[in-house]
Every structure is written in structure tokens, then in C-alpha cells.
Amino acid sequence: MSVVQTRGGVPYVVRDSIDGTGRKVRLPFLISHLKVRNKGGAIVQLYFTEADFTAGVNYVEIPIVAATTPYGEWEGPVETSTGDHESVWLKSSGAASPIELVAFQRRG
């Protein structure tokens, strides 16, 4: 028996401006997929735990829109779980950057 995983799900969208202080994005449900688009002028760092956010380690960089990264985005399968892994944290590496985050609800 095989299990088919699709990227579908109920979307949750956050549009905000992220500065060098950063912020926690509390997700209203457990997710299976995440897409973050950077619409600003500075690289944005995406953290998956508060400890990593506080220490400034183990992050994914969301690039600036440029010729080599025309959409300025990062996406991938990201499963959250209750406890320390039910939110994500974002921080700009420079000036405030507007972002768009789309999280898809995990089913089943």
C-alpha cells in the first residue's frame, strides 16, 4: 500500500514587514508545506525553532528579488508539530522587508 502526498491543503496567508528584530509567526494549525516570498530589499532568515532564532543559527535564507532569484522565494515541505515546532520565526538581515508567507494545513 502506498500513501500519496499532495501539496494541497487549506492555505493560511501572512503579509507583513519583517525587520532586524524579527518576529514569531504563530500558525493556526499544523502544516505540511510552506512558501515564503521576500518582496523587500534585504535577505530574510526563516527559523524553525525559537532557540535557533534566539541564537541566530540554523536558518534558511529567503533571497532578494534579483536576476538570479527572480521570485525571491523559498518553498518546501515543512511539517509542524505541537510544542516547540508549531510556529516559525522570521528576521531581516538588514532593512525591513515585506514578506508573504503561505502555509498549507496538514491533513490526516
Find all residues with CB under 8 Å of 91, minimum gap 6, and list them.
Answer: 18, 20, 21, 22, 23, 44, 45, 47, 53, 56, 59
For residue range 91-107, list pLDDT tens digits in order: 999 889 999 999 999 87
Judging by beta carbons within 10 Å of its beta carbon (0-12, 13-18, 19+), is residue 52 exposed, middle or buried?
Answer: middle
Q: Check residues 6 and 78 and name the one with the higher pLDDT.
A: 78
- Residue boundaries of the structural domains of the chain: 11-105
For residue range 25-63, list pLDDT tens digits in order: 999 999 999 999 999 889 999 999 999 999 999 999 999
* Distance from C-alpha of 29 to C-alpha of 81, rounded to nearest angstrom: 9
| Residue 14: pLDDT over 70 | yes
Q: What is the pLDDT of residue 108?
A: 65
Mean of all residue pLDDT scores within the chain: 88
Q: Is 3.40.640 the CATH number for 11-105?
A: no
